Amino acid sequence: MYNVKKRVYEVIEVSGIGDASSRAYDVMITTAVVVGLLPMTMKSESVYTKLIELFTSLLFFIDYCSRVYTADYKMGYKSVKAYIAYILTPLAILDLLSIIPVISLFLPGIGMIKLLKLFRFFRVFKLVRYSKTMIVIANVIRKVRTQLLAVLILITVYIFVSAMLIFQMEPDLFTSFFDALYWATISITTIGYGDISPVTSLGRMITMVSALVGMAVIALPTGIITAAYMNEINRKKSKYEL
Checking if the pLDDT of 135 tops 80, the result is no
d(CA 104, CA 107): 5
pLDDT at 240: 57
Model pTM?
Answer: 0.66
Q: Which domains does the chain have, with CATH numbers?
A: 4-130 (1.20.120), 146-241 (1.10.287.70)
- Mean pLDDT value of segment 199-205: 80
Question: Which stretch, 102-111, 161-170, 204-213, has highest mean pLDDT?
Answer: 161-170
How does pLDDT run across 210-230, given as a tens digit for each residue? 778 877 777 888 888 888 888
